[in-house]
Amino acid sequence: MNDSYVPAPVLREDAAGWLDDAEKRIRADGGALAALFPAAGRRCGRGPVPGEPGWTVDQAVRVRLLRALPAGGKPLGETLFDLYAHGDAAERLAVLKALPALAADGRLGEAGLPIVRDALRTNDTRLIAAAMGPYTAAHLPGDSYRQAVLKCVFTGVPLSVVAGLDRRRDRELARMLADFAEERLLAGRAVPPDIWPLVEDHPDVLTKVRALLAEGPGHPAPGTVPTRQHTLD
């Protein structure tokens, strides 16, 4: 499955007819999207797409509507941001999920980054997770990407949903995560286990963390972090 994959849900006859007509209207006049985009859930449904974890029918339909837009580049980015800024949570998620597909169409470039940055400023874990998809992995600059990964750790978004970690993980990210682990250990708090594989890539950043784990009961409290032999050896 490629990064720009969008599922094609099976729609009722009336819903499929509405979608076909909506796409034609948007291709003819991009301004028609403003009224059609919010109506997608009511007209086509909001349930999950069978066999497509993480996708709902309205999200997939809204992505199709966005791909029908004739604009590209900065004008497309501005249209997307306006929809995102004025939309409800479901509409915002759809805009974020559309970014990889629109980028794959060759029309978006970096014009979608303001949307990503706005989503990452929120504390809504659904938006943060959606923002950390393939588009962000391909376009967000290094420092911002590292901060976004740290935001996921802070807010409890599992790193398994973060696109691009295999190729974008580096020593600086490992250092930031080790500093985070150190703070948690000093406070006697649990360290999310999914950070360890990223930190272990660079053993030199683990000196203080190893020392804290070696101190025993005081750092951290018993049972709050994985044992040393399962995480750092």
Predicted local distance difference test score (pLDDT) of residue 204: 87
User: Which residues on neighbouring strands pair with residue 48, listed in sequence order?
Assistant: 56
For residue 103, give both structure tokens.
């980028």
CA distance 137 to 215: 38
Low-confidence residues of the chain: pLDDT under 50: 218-233
What is the residue extent of each domain of the chain?
Answer: 1-145, 169-233
DSSP secondary structure letters along the chain: --TT--------HHHHHHHHHHHHHHHH-GGGHHHHHHHHHHHH--SBPTT-TT-BHHHHHHHHHHHT----HHHHHHHHHHHHHHS-HHHHHHHHHHHHHHHHTTS-TTTTHHHHHHHHHS--HHHHHHHTSHHHHHHS-HHHHHHHHHHHHHHT--GGG-TTHHHH--HHHHHHHHHHHHHHHHTT----GGGHHHHTT-GGGGHHHHHHHHT-TTSS-TTSS--HHHHT-
Predicted local distance difference test score (pLDDT) of residue 210: 76
pTM of the model: 0.88
Q: Tell me: the pLDDT tens digits for 86-135?
A: 999 999 999 999 999 999 999 999 999 999 999 999 999 999 999 999 99
Predicted local distance difference test score (pLDDT) of residue 3: 75
Predicted local distance difference test score (pLDDT) of residue 227: 40
